[in-house]
C-alpha cells in the first residue's frame, strides 16, 4: 500500500485498549484514524472517538481492528465486510459454524479480506517449534495445554456469561491452542472428538486474573455467577491417525501459568514449555527441547519480550491485506476451530446457548448502537422527498413464484434432489448471478429461472396496502424509485403488469449498475436520476443487503417486516426505523404537514 494503513480500532475493552491501540499507534505502518466505542471515554486525546460503526466511512479506512465482546465478533465483522472494509478480527473469529458461513458470504460479497487475530503462531518459540517438527518424523501424538494458576478473566462480567462469551476456557484459551497446533496437524479432518468440562474455579474470587482491571459488563452482563467452564480436557484423532490431548484451564491448583506443546513422532519428540499471554505469574522463560534415542538437546531461538508476537503480527499485516491467497483463509481456519469446540461441548453434554437475539436488542450492544425496542417510524430529523423501494418482499409478494422458478431451474441445470431455496431466499436483494456464485451453483440456472419468472409473473401480487401507500405518497408530492436485485427489464415488466409502473419516477435493476447490493451503487444511481441528495431520501428494504446499501449511500434505511424476511438479521443491521405494514411509511409525511 502507498503510505500507512488507515485503521480504526473497534472496541475499547481490555484487548483494544491494552493490546491493539498502543501498538498500532506506535507502528510506522499504521495510522489510527479513529476508535469506536459507544460507552468508553476518550481512548487517546489524539484519536477521534466514534460511537457507532455506522459512522465509519468506507472510503476513508483501509482496515478495521475488531476487539469487541465475543458475541458481537461475527455481527460487526459481517457488517464491515459487506461494506467492503477489510477486517482484522480478534479471536474467537466466530461462536458457531453458522456464523463462519455468514462471514464467508460477507467476505465474498463485499470483496474485502477477513484476517484473524490469534497471535500464538507469531511467537518466536512457537515458530522455532514448527521449524523443528520435521525432525520428529511421522507425527503420532500432540500434547497441548495452557493451564493458569489463577486467571479467570473478568469474573462476573461478559467473559463468564455463556450467552455473551460463547463458552469459557475452551473458547478463550482453547482457540489459541487449536491455532498453535494447526500448522503441525495440517489439513487432515478430525474423525473423533471427545472431552469433559469442569467449573471448580469460575465463581471463586481468588481465581480471578489479577492482571486484568475491573469487570467489563458489556452487553448487559452484571455481577454474579458465571455459567461457563473454567477447564476443558479433550482428546482428538485425525483421519490419518494422529491423536491430540488438549487441556485449557483458566485456573488450577498449580503455582505458575504454563503452556506446553509436545509433538511425538517416529523419530523423536519436540517439546516447548512456556507461558502464553500476559500473565505475570509465568515461567521464567521458554524452553524448547528435542529428544531422540534417549538424548535430549536444547533447541536455541531468539528470546523476546512479553507480547512481542502482537508486534510481529502487525509487521506482517499490511502485506496480508494485499495478498489474494488470504481470501477465505481466516474463515477456513475458524471453521476447523469452531467445529472442534462445538463437538467438544456436545460430547461433554454442555449446551452453551447462542446469544439470545431478542434479549440482545434490549441490551446495549456496545458497538452496533442498536438499543432499546425497535426504532419507531415517524418524522425524521431532515425532511425527505424521495423514497427508494426494494421490490421483492417489499412491494410484491413473489416468494412462491420464485420458489417454483428456482426449483425448475435447479432441476434443469443441476439435476435431481431438493432445490436449496431456503438458502437462496437468505440472499434475496442481491443480483441472481451473485447469489449463484455465493451458493456455488451454476450460472446457467439464470436462463431457466428468468424464463419461468416471466411465465408466472401474472401470479405475483402486490402486498395488501401497497397500492394505497404508493398513491398517497404521490399525492403528497413524494418522488418514488425502485432499486432491485432483479434485472431492470424484469422489474419494469412486473410492475407494468401490476398497473403501478407509472407511479415510479425510475426503476433500476442490478444489471444496470456496476456493483449490486450491498454496494451503494444502485441507491446512488437512483439519487442521481432523481437529482436528490442522500439526506433527502429513505430506502425501504426487507434484507440486510438493503440496509447496508442504503447506509453506505448515506440514506436512511427503513426495515419492512410484512414479507418473508429474516427479522433478527434485519434488525441487527441497525435500520433507522421499522415498518410493520406498508401504511406505516406514511407516518414520515403526516397529511396535515403536507403542502
The Cα–Cα gap between 286 and 305 comes to 11
* Same-domain status, 410 and 548: no
Q: Quick one: average pLDDT of 142-154?
A: 93
Mark whether 414 and 518 lie in a shared domain.
no
Q: Which of 457, 474, 496 is the last residue of a domain?
A: 457
Confidence of residue 26 (pLDDT cuts 50, 70, 90): very high
Measured between alpha carbons, how far is residue 459 from residues 11, 51, 398, 411, 482 in Å? 49, 46, 8, 21, 20
pLDDT tens-digit readout, 365-413:
323 333 234 455 555 555 689 999 999 999 999 989 999 999 999 999 9
Q: With CA atoms as reference, report the closest residue to 565 among 578, 583, 551.
A: 578
**For residue 186, what is the domain's CATH number?**
3.30.360.10
The whole-angstrom separation of Cα 199 and Cα 203 is 8
Kindly state the cell numbers that stand for 80.
Answer: 464491515
Confidence of residue 207 (pLDDT cuts 50, 70, 90): confident
Domain count, the chain: 4
Q: How do 258-265 and 269-274 pair as beta strands?
A: antiparallel
**Residue 206 CA: distances (Å) to CA of 149, 151, 210, 250, 281:** 10, 9, 9, 12, 14
Tell me if residue 283 falls in helix, strand or coil.
coil
For residue 499, the Cα-to-chain-centroid distance in whole angstroms is 41
Question: Is the confidence at residue 175, as pLDDT, over 50?
Answer: yes
Same domain, 53 and 182: no
Together in a domain, 231 and 287: yes
For range 526-539, the mean pLDDT: 94
Q: Are 192 and 241 in contact (CB under 8 A)?
A: no
Q: How far is C-alpha 181 from the geometric centre of its chain's CA atoms?
A: 24
Q: Are residues 534 and 388 in the same domain?
A: yes
Segment of 266-280, 421-435, 505-519 carrying the highest mean pLDDT: 266-280
Cβ within 8 Å of residue 416, ≥6 positions away? none
- Is the residue at 354 inside a domain? no
What is the domain extent for residue 391?
Answer: 374-398+460-595
pLDDT score of 284: 84
Q: Which residues contact 28 (CB under 8 A, 6 or more apart)?
A: 4
- Alpha-carbon distances, residue 401 vs 408, 460, 567 (angstroms): 11, 7, 21
Identify the pLDDT of residue 355.
Answer: 41
Same domain, 385 and 524: yes
Q: What is the pLDDT of residue 135?
A: 97
pTM over 0.75: no
> Is 340 a member of any domain?
no
Do 97 and 143 belong together in one domain? no
Q: Are 84 and 111 in contact (CB under 8 A)?
A: yes
Residue 218 has pLDDT above 60, yes or no: no
- Of 274, 305, 336, the position where a domain reaches its end is 305
Q: Are residues 42 and 101 in the same domain?
A: yes
Same domain, 285 and 145: yes
Note whether residue 350 is domain-resident.
no
CA dihedral 542, 543, 548, 551 (to 10 degrees): 0
Q: Which three cell numbers stand for residue 298?
A: 536444547
For residue range 534-547, what is the model confidence (pLDDT) as tens digits?
989 999 999 888 88
Which residues touch 284 (CB under 8 Å, ≥6 apart)?
Answer: none
Cell of 106: 460477507
The cell for 565 is: 424476511
Residue 21: inside a domain = yes
| Residue range 209-219: mean pLDDT, rounded | 53
Looking up residue 54, the CATH number of its domain turns out to be 3.40.50.720
Residue 107 shares a structural domain with residue 130: no
Residues 208 and 282 in one domain: yes
Amino acid at each position: 500500500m502507498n503510505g500507512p494503513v488507515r485503521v480504526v480500532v473497534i472496541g475499547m475493552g481490555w484487548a483494544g485498549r491494552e493490546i491493539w491501540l498502543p501498538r498500532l499507534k506506535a507502528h510506522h505502518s499504521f495510522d489510527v484514524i479513529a476508535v469506536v466505542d459507544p460507552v468508553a471515554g476518550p481512548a487517546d486525546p489524539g484519536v477521534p472517538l466514534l460511537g457507532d460503526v455506522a459512522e465509519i466511512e468506507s472510503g476513508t479506512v483501509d482496515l478495521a481492528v475488531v476487539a469487541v465482546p465475543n458475541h458481537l465478533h461475527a455481527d460487526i465483522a459481517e457488517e464491515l465486510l459487506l461494506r467492503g472494509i477489510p477486517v482484522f478480527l480478534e479471536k474467537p473469529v466466530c461462536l458457531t459454524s453458522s456464523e463462519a458461513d455468514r462471514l464467508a458470504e460477507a467476505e465474498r460479497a463485499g470483496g474485502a479480506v477477513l484476517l484473524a487475530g490469534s497471535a500464538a503462531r507469531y511467537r518466536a518459540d512457537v515458530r522455532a517449534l514448527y521449524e523443528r517438527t520435521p525432525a520428529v518424523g511421522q507425527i503420532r501424538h500432540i500434547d497441548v495445554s495452557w493451564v493458569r494458576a489463577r486467571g479467570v478473566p473478568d469474573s462476573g462480567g461478559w467473559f463468564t456469561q455463556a450467552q455473551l462469551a460463547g463458552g469459557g476456557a475452551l473458547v478463550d484459551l482453547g482457540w489459541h491452542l487449536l491455532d498453535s497446533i494447526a500448522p503441525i496437524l495440517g489439513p487432515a479432518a478430525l474423525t473423533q472428538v471427545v472431552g469433559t468440562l469442569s467449573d471448580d474455579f469460575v465463581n471463586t474470587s481468588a481465581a480471578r486474573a489479577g492482571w486484568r482491571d475491573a469487570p467489563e459488563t458489556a452487553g448487559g452482563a452484571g455481577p454474579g455467577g458465571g455459567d461457563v467452564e473454567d477447564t476443558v480436557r479433550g482428546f482428538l484423532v485425525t483421519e490419518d491417525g494422529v491423536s491430540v490431548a488438549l487441556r485449557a484451564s483458566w485456573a488450577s491448583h498449580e503455582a505458575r501459568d504454563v503452556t506446553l506443546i509436545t509433538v511425538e513422532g517416529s523419530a523423536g519428540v519436540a517439546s516447548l514449555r512456556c507461558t502464553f499471554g500476559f500473565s505475570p505469574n509465568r515461567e521464567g522463560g521458554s524452553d524448547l527441547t528435542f529428544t531422540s534415542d534417549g538424548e535430549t538437546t536444547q533447541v536455541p531461538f531468539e528470546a523476546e519480550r512479553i507480547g512481542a508476537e502482537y508486534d510481529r503480527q502487525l509487521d506482517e499485516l499490511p502485506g496480508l491485506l494485499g495478498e489474494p491467497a488470504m481470501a477465505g483463509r481466516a474463515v477456513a481456519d475458524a471453521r476447523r476451530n469452531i467445529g472442534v469446540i462445538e463437538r467438544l461441548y456436545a460430547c461433554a453434554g454442555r449446551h452453551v446457548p447462542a446469544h439470545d437475539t431478542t434479549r440482545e436488542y434490549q441490551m446495549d450492544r456496545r458497538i452496533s448502537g442498536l438499543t432499546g425496542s425497535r426504532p419507531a417510524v415517524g418524522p425524521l430529523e431532515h425532511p425527505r422527498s424521495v423514497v427508494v423501494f426494494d421490490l421483492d418482499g417489499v412491494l410484491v409478494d413473489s416468494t412462491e413464484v420464485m420458489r417454483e422458478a428456482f426449483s425448475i431451474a435447479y432441476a434443469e441445470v443441476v439435476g435431481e434432489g431438493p432445490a436449496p431455496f431456503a438458502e437462496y431466499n437468505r440472499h434475496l436483494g442481491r443480483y441472481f448471478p451473485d447469489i449463484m456464485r455465493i451458493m456455488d451453483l451454476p450460472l446457467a440456472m439464470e436462463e431457466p429461472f428468468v424464463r419461468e419468472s416471466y411465465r408466472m409473473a401474472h401470479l405475483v401480487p402486490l402486498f395488501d396496502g401497497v397500492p394505497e401507500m404508493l398513491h398517497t405518497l404521490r399525492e403528497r408530492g413524494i418522488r418514488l424509485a425502485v432499486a432491485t436485485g432483479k434485472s431492470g427489464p424484469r422489474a419494469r415488466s412486473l410492475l407494468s403488469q401490476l398497473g403501478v409502473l407509472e407511479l415510479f419516477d425510475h426503476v433500476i435493476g442490478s444489471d444496470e449498475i456496476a456493483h449490486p447490493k450491498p454496494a451503494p451503487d444502485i441507491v446512488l444511481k437512483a439519487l442521481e436520476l432523481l437529482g436528490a441528495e442522500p439526506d433527502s431520501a429513505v430506502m425501504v428494504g426487507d434484507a440486510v443487503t438493503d440496509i447496508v446499501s442504503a447506509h453506505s449511500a448515506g440514506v436512511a434505511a427503513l426495515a419492512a417486516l410484512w414479507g418473508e424476511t429474516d427479522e433478527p438479521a434485519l434488525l441487527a443491521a441497525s435500520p433507522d426505523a421499522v415498518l410493520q405494514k406498508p401504511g406505516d411509511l406514511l407516518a414520515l409525511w403526516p397529511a396535515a404537514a403536507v403542502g
